[in-house]
Amino acid sequence: MLRAAVERQFEIIGEALNQMLKREPALAPRLSDHRRIIAFRNRLIHGYADIDDEVVWGVLTTSLPRLRREIVALLPDNKAI
């Protein structure tokens, strides 16, 4: 269940990022790896059988903290999320 929950949250993050960049494409340069994050979401959605737990863990520990910092920097008054 934990694995499914984590993967579902990555799917939501990737979709939200994709939708945000469609509405505000000028934000793309401020979000490193945005293409890779969206591609990761697509892989989770469409290629579930090929998902490696180590890859998910690597994204969780490496990419997610950076994305969080970048998103916080975009928020008014840099309020933490």
* pLDDT of the residue at 49: 73
Domain boundaries, the chain: 2-78
DSSP state string for the chain: -HHHHHHHHHHHHHHHHHHHHHH-GGGGGGSTTHHHHHHHHHHHHH-GGG--HHHHHHIIIIIHHHHHHHHHHHSGGG---
Block means of pLDDT (10 residues each) for the chain, length 81 residues? 90 95 94 92 85 89 91 80 62
The predicted pLDDT at position 52 comes to 87
pTM of the model: 0.83
Largest distance between two CA atoms of the chain: 41
